[in-house]
Amino acid sequence: MRLLTHNMLSSNIKGVTNGFPLGIVVEKVIEKPVEMNPDFLKNMFAKIEWKALVDASRSMGYAELPDQVDSSMLDSVEFLQRFHHALLELHLEEGALVCPETGRKFPVNKGIPNMLLHEDEV
Amino acid sequence: MASRPEVQAPPEIFYNDVEARKYTSSSRIIEIQAKLSERALELLALPDDGVPRLLLDIGCGSGLSGETLSENGHTWIGLDISPSMLDIALEREAEGDLLLSDMGQGLGLRPGVIDGAISISAVQWLCNADKSSHEPRLRLKAFFGSLYKCLARGARAVFQVYPESIAQRELILGSAMRAGFAGGVVVDFPHSSKSRKEYLVLTCGPPSVSTAVPKGKGEDGESSSEDSSGDEDNQTVSISDRHRPKKKQKLNRRGKGREWVMRKKDQMRRKGNVVPPDTKYTARKRKARF
């Protein structure tokens, strides 16, 4: 699972009002290089919750992202590369996602988070 | 006739390792899925500016539909309830991210982030109550409600569905409308029993010009003007002829003629069948060689 997906996911357990961002328990992280597409990054930038991305990338062991950003930084190639690496190249292979309110763990196996809810959580 | 998979078992059980394996080994299934997803992507009508979008593939299964999305340069997130199918997707090295999730429990996604959603042959599963806790109406409501929230304003969702009955189609469409979607059903090849495909085209947000439902393929808009009254007379004669003993049948009619063949070929084309192209040889008589 890439951090792009992590940035979109929130916990939808019944009664949880703010299920974002999900915490990350890291067991194994892998990197898969992919080609950078500046257009896509610029399109996504507006939709990304920056703080969540920074926190998530730090918990995955990548601390190159700046704390504060604005859209003017998108012109810098260096920044785009870091953004691209954090968003699309870091994969959480094994571990878990944790609901921020209830602490419920969603296990991640082979890169696939199990978001299935129990019957009493729907 | 094979019965519908929906009535055999719940999706996470029906799509076991054996069934999932079919999706890598059968070139026919792969071809059909690719065609369906291509058409769904076309109906999604994303702006043609070359910018890759973030799309959602609901019921992505083994990632066949996602492959089409990747080929068109988009980034996607796929979700499915069957672990076996997702394993196959991993094997096929699907480029999107995969989630093991039940669409009837609602999608846990942040509001307004997704640029479009497609789903190939999946939504009709929601109409089944596979567990005692399942209530199709509530599951459809949870699904469409959460989908409406996570789609960006003006984004579209295209679902290819196989509804079992008219009531089922109404149920799905009704739930979508109640969630706030505008749109309707597009039917491709409505005259054919095999190629007939239904797509639910939904638009997020209030009705506008962009929410107009596109036209289906192979739809017969104009009434067939070729059916002149003279032809109809001929047809009735030939049908009454058929019931006569062979010897007494009138043999004075000289074949069916080019016009008839062209009409039949047109008919078959409208049904979506594969028909050889029209050439100067079409319906020409063979030489008497003997």
CB A26 within 8 A of CB A111: no
Q: Which residues in chain B land under pLDDT 70?
A: 1-2, 206-212, 219-243, 246-255, 290
| pLDDT for the residue B254 | 62
A84 CB neighbours in chain B (<8 A) are: none
Set of chain A residues whose Cβ sits within 8 Å of the Cβ of B66? none
B275, containing H or E segment: none
**Tens of pLDDT along A95-106?**
999 999 888 999
Q: Would you call B100 and A119 a contact, using CB atoms and an 8 Å cutoff? A: no
- The alpha-carbon gap from B109 to the nearest alpha carbon of chain A, in Å, equals 5
Which of B54, B81, B107 shows the shortest C-beta gap to A44?
A: B54
Q: Which residue in chain B is spatially nearest to A11 when comparing CA positions?
A: B108
Structural domain boundaries in chain A: 3-115
Closest residue by Cα to residue A62 from A81, A48, A46, A34: A81
* Integer Cα distance of A72 and A69 in angstroms: 8
CA distances from B124 to B70, B99, B127, B129, B176 (A): 25, 20, 6, 11, 13
Whether A44 has its CB under 8 Å from any CB of chain B: the answer is yes
Is the link from the previous residue into B277 a cis peptide, with omega within 30 of 0? Answer: no
Residue B73: the pLDDT is 87
Q: Which residues pair with A28 in a beta bridge?
A: A94
**A-B contacts (CB, under 8 Å):** 82
CA of A44, closest CA in chain B: separation in Å?
8
pLDDT at position B236 is 35
Architecture of domain A3-115: Single Sheet (2.20)
How confident is the model at residue B167, as a pLDDT? 86
CB < 8 Å to A116, chain B: 81, 100-102, 105
Q: Which chain A residues have a beta carbon less than 8 Å from that of B99?
A: 1, 5, 9, 112-113, 115
Ranges of residues in chain A with a pLDDT under 70 are: none
Contact B123, B80 (CB under 8 A): no
The whole-angstrom distance between residue A9's C-alpha and the CA centroid of its chain comes to 8
| The pLDDT value given to residue B282 | 87
Query: A117–B102: do the CB atoms touch at under 8 Å?
Result: yes
Residues 6+ apart with CB under 8 A from A1: A91, A92, A108, A111, A112, A113, B97, B98, B99
